Amino acid sequence: METRASYVLVGGFVLTFLAGLVAFAIWIAKVDLDAEYRDYDVYFEGTVSGLLKRSIVYYSGIPVGDVRDITLAPDDPSKVRVWIRLRAEVPVSDASIAQLQFQGLTGVAYIELSGGSPDAPPLEPHPGEERPIIQSAPSPILAIFESAPNLVNEAILAVGQIQKLLSDENIASVSGVLRNSDRLAGNLADSTDDLETMVADVKEILAQTKTAAAKINQLVENSNALIEDDAKKLVTEAITTMQTATTLLARVDGMVAANEGAVTQFVNTSLPEVSRMILDLRVTARNLSRLMSRIEQNPAGVIFGTKEAEYDLKKRSTVEDGN
C-alpha cells in the first residue's frame, strides 16, 4: 500500500527548514543587517608588519570595524595605506588618531583609534581622495622594536665598561682604599686623646684671639678719639694755611697784574738774553776749566807757552822754536 504524501505539507516543511537554516546562519555569522558603515584610509609611516585584512579596529578597546585592504600609498611607497571600515556611529573627526598596536608578544596587530568627539563634524574625504583620511601615530611598541638593536649595542658597551671598571687592578685599588680607611678609622680611635688636646689648644687659641680682638677694638677706639681731637686741629690749621695761601696768591696776582708790562718785557727780552748768557757762561766755564787744567799740569807752560814745532812754509817741514 503506497503512502500518499502531502506535497503541501512537505513543501511547507522544507521552506520552513530553509528559512530556519538561513536565520541560523545569520545568527551564527552575527551579521547585523541594520548596521551602517563608513570607510576610511589610514597612512602609516614604515612597516605595518602583523596587520592583515580583517584585522580588527578598536576604539577605546571596543571593536568598531576591520581592515578592508592594505596597499602601498600610491604617491609615496614609503607609506602604507590601510583601508578600514568602521561603524557609522564611531566618532571620527580631525582629532582622531589611528595607532598600530600589538596583542601581547604574538605579533598580531590591530589598529587602535583614539580621540574624536561626538560633537565634531564627521570626517570628509579631501578632494581627489576616495575616502576620508584618519591621522596616524607611530606605534610605541614598534619604536621599541626598532630601537632594540641600539639598546642591545648600548647594553654591550655598558657591560664592557663595567668589566673595565671591575678590573683586577681597580678591585685591588678599592681594596687598598678600604684598608686605608680601616687604618684611618683605627688611628682616629687611637688618637682620641690627641684630639682632645688639639681641641683644648684650639679653645686656647680662640680665647687669645678674643683677647686680641678686644685690644684691637680698644686701639680703634683710641684712634677714633685721636682722630677726633688731633684731626680737628689739623683740619683747622690746614684751613688757616689755605686761607693764608689764598691771600698770598691774591697778593701775588695783584702784584703781577700791576707789573704786567714789566713782566712781559722781562719774558720777551730778558729771558732770551738769559738763555744766551747761559750759553756764554757755559763756554766761559769750559775755557776756564781747560785753563785750570793746563795750569795744574804745566804752570810754566801757560805763562811761557809750550815748546812747539811750527810749520815752515819755505822748508816745508816743522821747525823748533828759535831755529
Residues contributing to the site for another protein (CB under 8 A) = 268-270, 272-273, 275-276, 279-280, 283, 303-304, 308-314, 316, 318-319, 322
The least distance separating another protein from the CB of residue 256, rounded to whole angstroms, comes to: 20
- CB nearer to another protein: give 249 or 319: 319
Helices (H), the chain: 7-29, 140-165, 168-190, 192-226, 232-258, 260-265, 271-297, 299-304
The C-alpha atoms of residue 78 and residue 144 are separated, in whole angstroms, by 20
Of the pair 28, 313, the CB lying nearest another protein is at 313
Instruction: Give the nearer residue to another protein in terms of CB position, either 146 or 260.
Output: 260
Minimum distance of another protein from residue 293's CB (angstroms):
13
* In the complex, minimum distance from the CB of residue 252 to another protein, in angstroms, rounded to a whole number: 25
Nearer to another protein, 189 or 283 (CB): 283
CA–CA dist 68, 75 (Å, integer): 20
How near is the Cβ of 297 to another protein at its closest, in Å? 15
Please, are residues 87 and 36 in contact by the beta-carbon 8 Å criterion?
yes
84 in Cβ contact with 37 (< 8 Å): no
Grid cell, residue 192, equals 682620641
Distances, alpha carbon 261 to alpha carbons 34, 181, 253, 264, 268, in Å: 131, 96, 14, 5, 10
Instruction: Compute CA 46 distance to the chain's CA centroid, rounded to the nearest angstrom.
Output: 37
Which is closer to another protein, CB of 30 or CB of 307? 307
Q: How far is the CB of 314 from another protein (least distance, A)?
A: 8
Closest approach, Cβ 268 to another protein, in A, equals 6
- In the three-class reduction of DSSP (H, G, I as helix; E, B as strand; rest coil), residue 37 is classed as strand
Centre a 10 Å sphere on the Cβ of residue 289 and count the other Cβ atoms it contains.
Answer: 10
Q: Residue 9 or 283: which CB sits closer to another protein?
A: 283
Whole-number Å distance between alpha carbons of 52 and 110: 8
From the CB of 301, what's the least distance to another protein, in Å? Answer: 13
DSSP letters spanning 251-298: HHHHHHHHTHHHHHHIIIIIHHHHHHHHHHHHHHHHHHHHHHHHHHH-
Closest by alpha carbon to 37, among 53, 57, 55?
Answer: 57
Residue nearer to another protein on the CB measure, 224 or 275: 275
Cβ-based nearer residue to another protein, 75 or 308: 308
